[in-house]
Amino acid sequence: MAGSIIVRYAQKTYKQQRAEKQDSATFKNLNHSVDIIPESISIMTFNSWSEANEFAQHAREDGHHILEIIDDYKERKKK
């Protein structure tokens, strides 16, 4: 199904981004919370996993946090 891969992402707060840059070794541990700006939560749709993963990588580099990447078609099919 066209556009069934959904990427939900949000902008990290300035404080979060600054903390990650100052102490990058600490933030490589995935067991920490991430401060995001709730109003910045966005959704993008893609046709393939590779496109979605490429977008997610660029979004991370630009200071966004990836909330989830899901295949909406499979999710709807289960219901």
Closest CA to 42 of 13, 66, 16: 66
pLDDT digits (tens, 9 = 90+) for 5-29: 999 999 998 888 887 777 765 555 5
pLDDT at 67 over 90: yes
- Indicate the pLDDT class of residue 58, thresholds 50, 70 and 90: very high
pLDDT of residue 34: 80
pLDDT of residue 17: 80
pLDDT at 57 over 70: yes
pTM, two decimals, is 0.74
* DSSP assignment of 1-67: -TT-EEEEEEEBPHHHHHHHHHTHHHHTSS-S---B-GGG-EEEEESSHHHHHHHHHHHHHTTEEEE
